[in-house]
Amino acid sequence: MKVIDQEVIEFLKADPSFEFRQGVSSESFAIRLPAEMYHANTSAISSSRLKTISRSLAHYLIGEEEAESDEDDKSEKECMRLGTGVHSCTLEPHLFDAESVVWLGKSKTLLKDGYKDLVKAAEGKNIFKVADYKKITGCAQAIRSVGNGIIGEIIDGAEKELSIFWRDQETGIWCKVRPDVLNMEYGIYDVKSTRDAREESFTKDAYNKGYYVSAAMYKDGVSQFLGQDLPFVLVAAELEPPHGVLPYVVDGPALEYGNEVYRRNLRRLQKAQETNEYPNYPFLVRQARLPAWARVED
């Protein structure tokens, strides 16, 4: 991860399409990158990769996609696809409309030939069933309308998906973040589609999915780049009608926890790079326990 050198930075500066911007910290910068290029870049660690270290360094080493077996689950993939659609439609509705096609058929199997023709005509655009398209656009509209439209105003007055890179001062590891919304006045906003936006359900998901760890890393990256400590807000939006939306500021104990895990994982990665040792789970025979909800049926 210690591979972004001055030559690379000079190359990025020379190409105007990247819109290179030097950060307040001498070893930080921001550039405009297509999402595919950002995710394909392995010269810096993202929050999603960093979080796999909480599982084990061995899982980090083989890559997140291979480590997470649930990525093979069709329902999980479909949920992620809808979430990506909500994300795109919320941040840049005009681009979402230009890059989407609605499938009017009822079944991809029964009308196989017609669907194949649509795929060919779509030329790489995203194809959504009518019901899914309505979910996505309805959810995006709910997000932009919440609080009498304040979230929509924050989004429209912000920089969207700016790629920020910086070298961590303690470990020397290059890191990267790509905030959904970076508004200098209101803070960093991250849109999350969910089944249930209510506090009891969503905060549990936020903990399990490492959103608090991401929040700590995003705040750090933005601070290194801008020299400002901006608040981090998760915007939880329900995919199903009536599309309930609740914003959550990540601070206090949640942020302290996220920062502790973020810093610990960076230190663990630094040590692994120095020793070239990426251990799996520690060997320890554990006692099998029943889940809290388990009970004996009468």
For 167-210, the pLDDT digits (tens) are: 999 999 999 999 999 999 999 999 999 999 999 999 999 999 99
**161: which 2 tokens?**
């998906």
Please answer whether residues 50 and 269 qualify as being in contact, where contact means their C-beta atoms are separated by less than 8 angstroms. yes
**277: which 2 tokens?**
């040792």
Q: Would the pLDDT of 76 be above 90?
A: no
Pairing assessment for the beta strands 21-22 and 28-31 based on DSSP bridges? antiparallel
Helix/strand/coil percentages in the chain, nearest 5: 50, 15, 35
Residue 194 pairs in a beta bridge with 238
Helix then strand count (H, E) for the chain reads 12, 11
Mean pLDDT calculated for residue range 39-53: 92
- What's this model's pTM, rounded to 2 decimal places? 0.88
Nearest-10 Cα torsion for 196, 200, 203, 209: -60
Q: Would the pLDDT of 253 be above 70?
A: yes
Residue 134, in any domain of the structure: no
Higher-confidence residue of 39 and 236: namely 236
Looking at every residue in the chain, the average pLDDT score rounds to 89
Q: What is the CATH number of the domain that holds 226?
A: 3.90.320
pLDDT at position 14 is 85
Please tell me the distance from the alpha carbon of residue 230 to that of residue 222, in angstroms, as a whole number: 8
* Cβ-Cβ contacts under 8 Å for 281 (sequence gap 6 or more): 56, 58
Output the DSSP codes for 89-120.
HHH-HHHHHHTEEEE--S-TTTTHHHHHHHHH
Residue 241, in any domain of the structure: yes
Q: Would the pLDDT of 73 be above 60?
A: no
pLDDT at position 172 is 95
DSSP 8-class letter at 17: G
Residue 141, in any domain of the structure: no
Give the range of the structural domain holding residue 194, as residue numbers without chain letter.
Answer: 6-74+149-274
Pairing assessment for the beta strands 100-103 and 126-129 based on DSSP bridges? parallel
Q: How many domains does the chain have?
A: 1
Residue 51, in any domain of the structure: yes
**Sheet of 28-31, strand order:** 21-22, 28-31, 163-167, 174-177
Residue 136, in any domain of the structure: no
Residue 63, in any domain of the structure: yes
Residue 13, in any domain of the structure: yes
Residue 86, in any domain of the structure: no
Q: Would the pLDDT of 66 be above 50?
A: no
